[in-house]
Amino acid sequence: MTDSTRTARRATGARTLLNKVPEVTVWFWVIKILCTTVGESLADWINEQLGVGLVNTALLFTAIFAGVLIIQMRLTRYVPAAYWLAVVVVSVTGTLYTDILTDQLGVPLWISTLVFSVLLAGVFAVWYVRERTLSIHSITTTPREGFYWLAVLVTFALGTATGDWTLDLTGWGPGLSVLLPLSLIAVVVVMWRSGADAVLAFWLAYILTRPLGANLGDWLAADKAEQGLGLGTFMTSVVFLLAILATVAYLTVSRVDVIEDANESVRA
């Protein structure tokens, strides 16, 4: 870190940290999709199978998310277990917020999509005006980390609304529905490879992995009569949670996703 950077940090009063998020490798996207699938299936299982109710489930996970986020933000470096636990919890929480708007309050999905899109644009705008960057390779201060997690929460809610709205419009079954977000992610990858802005490509892919993981979870959990694989929401949650634990254990040991020096990185 340069002397000017240290001076700027002291001037703003921001606490300088090691980068608090993982490197964007293939492991990042694999575990992100796993977390998203768990978010969909676990929320459905607690709400429907346990009979907790949509609002009560949302309140429960809001409290859990607050506690997990406090732990995550008190750390001074990226810790795979803490970070990905926060992603799992926020995936459930963001899903529940959209479900409340749709199922509890009767808000049309296109309106929810528009509202969350505007909200996300607002988060990015304030974040950029304050910090002059939206790159996840720059999450080295507490304010930036706060903006990051707020953006992540909104992307999960937006991805839920957009994915459900698309399914309503197309009428596709669970298996076929996986192909649309997968195809759009492929388009984003091609755009990135062709020179599109890396930060924009990252956040577009981040949003699109939400409906991809959710549709994958629905496909696995749905009954065979509904063109699913019939695993059920509980078994789907268990399988994907075990996969997440195994991946996090590998990342903890290997450290292949640790950003050693964010100031030297120019990627998204």
Separation of alpha carbons 166 and 158, rounded Å: 12
| pLDDT tens-digit series, residues 35-56 | 888 877 887 788 777 777 888 8
Map tokens 């109710």 to a residue. Answer: 53
Cα 182 to its chain centre, rounded Å, is 16
Here the tokens at position 87 are 């992603």
- Residue spans per domain, the chain: 26-256
Report CA torsion sign: 200, 203, 205, 208. Answer: negative
Mean pLDDT throughout 82-111? 92
The whole model's pTM is what?
0.85
The rounded mean pLDDT for the chain is: 86
User: Could you tell me which of 250, 234, 213 has the C-alpha nearest to residue 27?
Assistant: 250
Q: Is the pLDDT of residue 7 over 70?
A: no
Confidence of residue 176 (pLDDT cuts 50, 70, 90): confident
Q: What is the pLDDT of residue 14?
A: 54
Give the best-scoring range by mean pLDDT among 14-23, 49-58, 62-71, 135-144: 62-71
C-alpha distances in angstroms, 258 versus 77, 84, 150, 248?
9, 13, 22, 12
Confidence of residue 12 (pLDDT cuts 50, 70, 90): very low
Q: What is the pLDDT of residue 83?
A: 95
Q: Is the pLDDT of residue 157 over 50?
A: yes
- What percent of the chain stands above pLDDT 90? 52
